[in-house]
Amino acid sequence: MRHAGRTASADRGEGLSVADLQRRLAEFARARDWGPYHTPKNLAAALSVEAGELVEIFQWLTPEESARVMEDEGTAHRVRDEVADVLAYLLQLCEVLGVDALAALSAKIDRNETRFPAP
């Protein structure tokens, strides 16, 4: 079901910002009174669980099979769902902690470029 006021292109992720997604996630949780459960500890644990579910899809695949995982629509659907779950919990954790995810990532890339210079 499409969120009120959303277009098909928005459903594909076009034109969405991190802030838009965080706002939607917060509204979703607020409507269900989940706020008391969205502590940093609980969100970090949920993020770990969802990341584990993503890993589980690839667990016994060969490197070659894992590279082709999106060719099977059923498996591709599972991958997209788990990626979405991981991202949802990460964005909620960032929101609760006041972390700007994009700024944090940019700063980390800057540090890694210094730590691991290109040959």
Instruction: List, for residues 47-78, the tens digit of each pLDDT value.
Output: 999 999 999 999 999 999 999 999 999 999 99
Give Cα separations from 25 to 49, 59, 73, 77 (angstroms). 18, 29, 26, 21
- Say if CB 101 and CB 90 are below 8 A apart: yes
Question: Which residue is associated with the tokens 């990341």?
Answer: 51
pLDDT of residue 17: 92
- Rounded CA-CA distance 76/12 in Å is 15
Kindly state the average pLDDT of the residues 94-115: 97
| pLDDT of 45 strictly over 80 | yes
10, two tokens? 């928005």
| pLDDT of 36 strictly over 80 | yes
**pLDDT > 70 fraction of the chain, expressed in percent and rounded:** 89
pTM for the model stands at: 0.84
